[in-house]
Structure 1
Amino acid sequence: MSAPDKQRTAMRSGHSDQHYDVIVVGAGMAGLSAAALLARHNYKVLVAEGHDRPGGCMTSWVRKPRDRNRVARRFVFDAGVQDISGLSPQAPVRHLLSQIGEQDSLDWLPVQHRYVVNGTTLDLPRNWDGLERVLCAAFAEDAAGISALLREIRLVYDELYAGMAAADYRPVTASAQMQSGQRFEHAARAAGQSYVALLERHIGNPTLISIFKILSEYVTDDPACLSLTDMVPLFGYYIGGGFYPAGGAQKLPDLLCRSIQRHHGEIRLKSRVNAFILRDGRIAGIELASGQAAYAPAVISNADIGASHGALLGPYDLPPRYRQRLKQLKRGPSAILINFGLDAIPDLPARVFVEQDGLIFGLGNPSAIDSTLAPAGHAALSLLHLLPEAEAHSWFALSPAQDEDARKLYAQKLIAAAGRVIPGLEDHIVHYEVAAPPTFRHYIQSENGSIYGAARGQWCPPVASPVPGLFLAGAGTATGPGVEAAVLSGLHAAHAVMDR
């Protein structure tokens, strides 16, 4: 019997069915990734999730609005994630799916990007050479700067992902970082470089600068806070491409759940966790809102970072500097998300980034590549507009009537702006619904309805917390937001547990 098998046997000896090797709190993409890898390695895993479906921000649901003849029309809406990177060789999503034997289980549909910035419309190809060619042709005066910028980004990208694979998708220690810095010098320098400063050093055209900035909406509302390291993985959309899982975003978390269960893991939905259980200063399990308890020597928390160190942990003597950093942690943006059911399919690619009239928003048009999301001749369309943290925070002071009015006003403004990209949009809306910061707080249990866990450009906690047995995973940790980063965070957490 191997050492890990002996360890797990010892963990389980004399235990009831409410005892596990690892408990994962929260079935977001990071939590599910950690649980799937651990279950594949024969750890007895429990995943506890308060929502009625897994996935966090990567969920889908069905709406069946009725037309004038009272006939229901079926639309599949997503919670915002419709463009997934990380499926190229050496990237985290591909690695995870390969590790659990699910690399061929989903049909991945390629997502094309269009940029509409202050009157300029540009379709960018999904390959690196084509990207450079199109940008240099459209902005000939900046051609030399474009080539130099993309060359620097690609060097950093290749080293980042080579380093990730070299570390076997494990969290890297300080000493290993020093060794890695000697081997991957461009990636090591990138952490201290401002992405916006780099742009402005190479590019003069303000529209092109906006195009290079707007992709950052996938991780922040403030590009100025990003380092080159933060931003470079997003260029993977033009190296390995971005994809949408056929049938809706829900397909990926559902696949991970099936993998967990097939390897004898347990998923409990609608099972809110009230608190961590501690014994002698160490994690010992969780207490559910139902009053039930489950026990394990290791807990991976994919819950909100604040809750993981506050309401769930309770009074605990965290190291003073760590506690102070948590107190200073900015939570980043929330959003307005509008999902539309349309009686026409917009003549748009699956993803459109828009900046006009002082508004920045993204349009998701997955019906352009997946006809199963809406009836024939119809489309499921989404619009996502980020709200700065201060504005999101102020939303919670509104009365119910004020909240309703604020949603209507935002919807009117954003629909009018989207109508300039999709002429006649309002005439084709058969159904729409508006999510605001309180919606996100309710469903993903994040402070201020933050959709990215924590703001970029600041310290975020690593995978190993100061509490023995408590590990952290998710967008609010050091790996950052986005599906690819969340999966990497889950891999880090799983390996941290296995490597103890």
Structure 2
Amino acid sequence: MRVFLTVKLALLPFVVFWVLLAWNQPAWAVWSALAIALAGNLWRASRGELALLEVGGLVLFVLLAIANDVAPNWTMANALWLSFAALGLVSFASLAVGRPWTADYSRSAYADSAATPQFHLINMLMTGLWGVLFVVLGLCRWAGVSSWLTTAIVVAGALISIFGPRFAIRQALQRMRQSREGYHWPAPAFAATDGLDCDVAVIGAGIGGLTAAALLAEAGLKVKVFDHHVVPGGFCHSYLRKAHHDNKPVLYRFDAGPHDFSGVWPGGPVESVLRRLGVADRVQWKRVTHSYHLAGRRIDVPEDWRAYVRQLCEMFPASADGLVKLFDTIHAIFESMYATGHGRSGIPGMPATIEEMLAFPRKHPHAFRWMNRPFDELVAAHVSDPALIAMLNALTGYLGDGSEKLSCAQMVPIFGYYFKGGFYPVGGSGHLADVLADAITSRGGEVQLKSKVTRILVEQGRATGVALGNGRTIRAQAVVSNADLGRTFTELLAPDDLPAAFRARAQDIAPANPASRCISAWTSSRTSRPRPISTRRWASALPSCPSSIRQPRRRDTRR
């Protein structure tokens, strides 16, 4: 309604013009409208603003003033329909230049979302609608159609302008929600399990499979997890190696994968899930710090992210102002993303309802503006120094090999290592897997190792169990796969079990580039750190000194 009233005020010169024409006062109509239009444009100019509709109106009334002076009778006969035609022309011209005139008035009312593609699209549609209506009104006036019809057209346009944008936004958001899940299926009923081995069979005892199984068991379901390895955890497991040091036997514990966990802060995803399972107190976390070596520069990252920003500002003083604003924006996006995790174990995601989605731009303007845009664009909007940008991208190795175009939604969460810290579980990353496995078995579930799954069983379009490598068949009401994405859809499922289009997409999945690791043990002082290494890509070193907790002390990352 506010936008509609603002537009009506912008159309005041036209309203005065139409009223005076109806009173057979063409000269007064033209000059009064011209005076009001000129005053309005001067006021806009004093504020550094430009409204295409009002500029178009000013041009129209200047031309009509000239026409009235040259041919007053012709002007009197044609001015009314020409005014509507001119409004239609302004509408289509604004569309042609990509600046719909309705946006000039709705931008202040929807400032939080004014920079989004959705805002632009809706205003393009509304401007196009009014362009058509203005042209139709002009034709009606030219043809002498009844004023009842033209009034009905104006009323219809007004109602669409008032209620149309919100309806369009709701429809766009609904389509957005639906597009996030291209394939829909009914949730299993989990009724009686007569003749079944379990409610849910989980393939893979990686962290994803263990977490899913533990939460399902917590919900009261009978769960069985199957993995072909000898220990749980997938890449998140630890292994031991025996050696001798100073003629004494030493047992080294190495991690197969994760060593720097985020989401451990109170309310974070990892902490919330562990607390939900009642095992948060069984994992002790130690802070991991970072040291970067980039292009001959070295910086030890402090635990306070604001102190880190100050360090970067000292290193790159010419970019200091932009750098501070950039980190403030990233922090705001980070907090907004995780604000959506309230009530669902700290796990961020799309707001649960359309109403919450409508409120999101107002509550979280930075996140709404940037989340789906490339992270490079956000950085470029604030800083341009290549060395600084390389420093800001120091943790991209956590997400890929650097060839990907990462969005803000992908990059911002890893800045949680600065905002909230990265942590290491005392006893190794495998301890986290052991705790989750215990959470499953303590709730009546099973974790069966050395049990390779060879096939997902499907009957009438539903997963009904798994076949194991030893010939056993496990019947279940649902199957959760934590196996490799490509193998799940191209090897564990038969070709006829998937829609053809989906299977084609699965077959096109390319594996990520491999990473090489060198694990060694040597005698060194507790304060020593790895020397910078020459590398053309991304590399990291994780030194740890022998101790009762085997805790990594500092993560060094190099490009």
Q: Which category describes the TM-score, using the shorter chain as reference length?
A: 0.5 to 0.7
Mapping for residues 12-411 of structure 1, pairs under 5 Å: 12=193, 14-15=194-195, 19-66=197-244, 71-165=248-342, 169=347, 172=350, 176=354, 178-179=357-358, 181-182=360-361, 183-222=363-402, 224-345=404-525, 347=527, 356-367=534-545, 371-373=548-550
For the residue of structure 1 that corresponds to 2:325, the secondary structure is helix
TM-score by length of 2: 0.61
Residue deviations 1:77-98, cap 9 Å, x none?
Answer: 1113111000123321011011
| Letter aligned with residue 233 of structure 2 | G
Alpha carbons of 1:322 and 1:83: their partners in 2 closer, same or farther (altered >3 Å)? same
Residue deviations 1:333-389, cap 9 Å, x none?
Answer: 22101111112246357xx89674424201112438x54439xxxx9999999xxxx
8 Å Cα contact 1:116/1:353 also seen in 2: no
Give the whole-Å Cα distance in 2 for the aligned partners of 1:191 and 1:33: 27
For the residue of structure 1 that corresponds to 2:228, the secondary structure is coil
Q: Which runs of 5+ in 1 are unaligned?
A: 1-5, 386-416, 418-500
8 Å Cα contact 1:63/1:74 also seen in 2: yes
Give the whole-Å Cα distance in 1 for the aligned partners of 2:313 and 2:256: 35
Alpha carbons of 1:131 and 1:171: their partners in 2 closer, same or farther (altered >3 Å)? closer
8 Å Cα contact 1:75/1:380 also seen in 2: no
Shift of residue 295, structure 1, vs aligned partner: 1.3
TM-score by length of 1: 0.67
Structure 1 moving runs of 4+ over 6 Å: 352-355, 379-385
Provide the residue aligned with 1:497 in structure 2. none
Shift of residue 185, structure 1, vs aligned partner: 4.0
Alpha carbons of 1:278 and 1:345: their partners in 2 closer, same or farther (altered >3 Å)? farther
Give the whole-Å Cα distance in 1 for the aligned partners of 2:517 and 2:526: 18
Give the whole-Å Cα distance in 2 for the aligned partners of 1:27 and 1:200: 41
For the residue of structure 1 that corresponds to 2:515, the secondary structure is strand
| Letter aligned with residue 208 of structure 2 | A
Question: Rg: which structure is higher?
Answer: 2
For the residue of structure 1 that corresponds to 2:265, the secondary structure is coil
Give the whole-Å Cα distance in 2 for the aligned partners of 1:382 and 1:287: 42
| Letter aligned with residue 267 of structure 1 | V
Shift of residue 73, structure 1, vs aligned partner: 2.4
Alpha carbons of 1:166 and 1:73: their partners in 2 closer, same or farther (altered >3 Å)? closer
Give the whole-Å Cα distance in 2 for the aligned partners of 1:123 and 1:212: 14
Shift of residue 217, structure 1, vs aligned partner: 0.5
Shift of residue 144, structure 1, vs aligned partner: 0.8
Alpha carbons of 1:317 and 1:354: their partners in 2 closer, same or farther (altered >3 Å)? farther
Give the whole-Å Cα distance in 1 for the aligned partners of 2:223 and 2:349: 21
Give the whole-Å Cα distance in 1 for the aligned partners of 2:220 and 2:393: 43
Provide the residue aligned with 2:110 in structure 1. none
Give the whole-Å Cα distance in 2 for the aligned partners of 1:254 and 1:222: 33
Structure holding more helix per residue: 2
Q: Which runs of 5+ in 2 are unaligned?
A: 1-187
Shift of residue 223, structure 1, vs aligned partner: 5.9
Give the whole-Å Cα distance in 2 for the aligned partners of 1:353 and 1:153: 31
Shift of residue 24, structure 1, vs aligned partner: 0.9
For the residue of structure 2 that corresponds to 1:112, the secondary structure is strand
8 Å Cα contact 1:353/1:363 also seen in 2: no
Structure holding more strand per residue: 1
Give the whole-Å Cα distance in 2 for the aligned partners of 1:348 and 1:299: 48
8 Å Cα contact 1:47/1:268 also seen in 2: yes
Shift of residue 164, structure 1, vs aligned partner: 2.3
Residue deviations 1:17-40, cap 9 Å, x none?
Answer: xx1111110011111111111111
Give the whole-Å Cα distance in 2 for the aligned partners of 1:171 and 1:20: 30
Give the whole-Å Cα distance in 2 for the aligned partners of 1:170 and 1:149: 22
Shift of residue 66, structure 1, vs aligned partner: 4.0
Give the whole-Å Cα distance in 1 for the aligned partners of 2:238 and 2:364: 39
For the residue of structure 1 that corresponds to 2:505, the secondary structure is helix
For the residue of structure 1 that corresponds to 2:444, the secondary structure is coil
Give the whole-Å Cα distance in 2 for the aligned partners of 1:212 and 1:381: 18
Q: Which moved more, 1:118-127 or 1:47-56?
A: 118-127
Structure having greater relative contact order (Cα 8 Å, sep ≥ 6)? 1
| Letter aligned with residue 78 of structure 1 | D
Alpha carbons of 1:191 and 1:319: their partners in 2 closer, same or farther (altered >3 Å)? farther
The RMSD of aligned alpha carbons is 3.0
